[in-house]
Amino acid sequence: MSKLKFRSVGECMAELQLAKDGLYSLAFGGDTLNTSWYVRALTTPQTHEVEYVTAVGSDPLSGRLLDFLKNHTIGTNFISTITDRNVGLYLISLKDSERSFTYWRSNSAAKLLAQDPVHLSGALAAANVIYFSGITLAILSPEHRETLFSELARARSAGATIAFDSNARPRLWSSEREMKEAAIQGYRAATIALPTFPDEQAFFGDATPVDCAKRIASYGVNEIIVKDGGNASCSLVDGELFEVAPQPVNGIIDTTGAGDSFNAGYLVARMANMSPKAAASLGHQVAGRVICHRGALVPMAMFSNLRAI
């Protein structure tokens, strides 16, 4: 039996989060890396090939990142090296369980992940599922963005599932208009859309999650799952509208990575041919565990009992 091939395209950054005695701990994260992490946590190397598609520098921190990915069986075969660049950095600040971010990414190598069409084509070839986000689009130049869309179209025509989370970050864009146009283009490229309602509402004016799902369906997406924090997710799949509520979660500590981990649970379930309702339920389960711990990446062992899917 051949392995299922999952590709996540985007930027992995070094993460600083306040630890004890006013010191900061170093980890790695980023929306598309977070989703890769939980896809890996929910699967085994024997059944699923999880590869991260990005670019890093030649500095020690980039080397540490590559070792980190390899040690957790996330593939690095399609990570290119840009010698005069480095890995971006972000700092997490928490107020209660809500987080805010401060970024240093102007020289991030990941901004050049799509500069080589041949390399990118090879990375996406034969993939079963390709995942990317609005942040992936935001860090790319317009020219490189078009390169990515061309390769996604090629992969989709070859039968790949293309999953997209708009993950709106206005500070990364030159204008709100550019961000919205890129998000719409992302949806048009996708077979599965995984938006977050407050983000979409803020920039597209959707009154409800149902309105959000219907608008995105108008772009040609047949499978849409609208996340809404601790509320029920709203799905519109092949014209069928339904909601899936999460189980109550006690002891929420940090919501970092909640949406990214939901996406992983959903996509792994769909790769296992589970129904969209069952997939949304698994997404909620995964996110519910993540938000009870600090940081974007919770130890993979905590999800071993969900691998039976």
Q: Which residues are catalytic?
A: 260
Q: What is the rounded distance in angstroms from the CA atom of residue 133 to the CA atom of residue 194?
A: 9
CA dist 90 → 14, 15, 138, 143 (Å):
6, 5, 16, 26
Q: How many CB atoms lie within 10 A of CB 158?
A: 11
Q: What is the rounded distance in angstroms from the CA atom of residue 260 to the CA atom of residue 186?
A: 17
Would you say 215 and 204 are in contact if contact means Cβ atoms under 8 Å apart?
yes
Helix H segments across 141-253? 142-157, 176-189, 197-204, 209-217
- Give, for 247, the enclosing helix (H) or strand (E): none
Reading the block at residue 86, the tokens are 């480095």
> Helix or strand or coil: residue 110?
helix
Q: What is the rounded distance in angstroms from the CA atom of residue 295 to the CA atom of residue 253?
A: 9
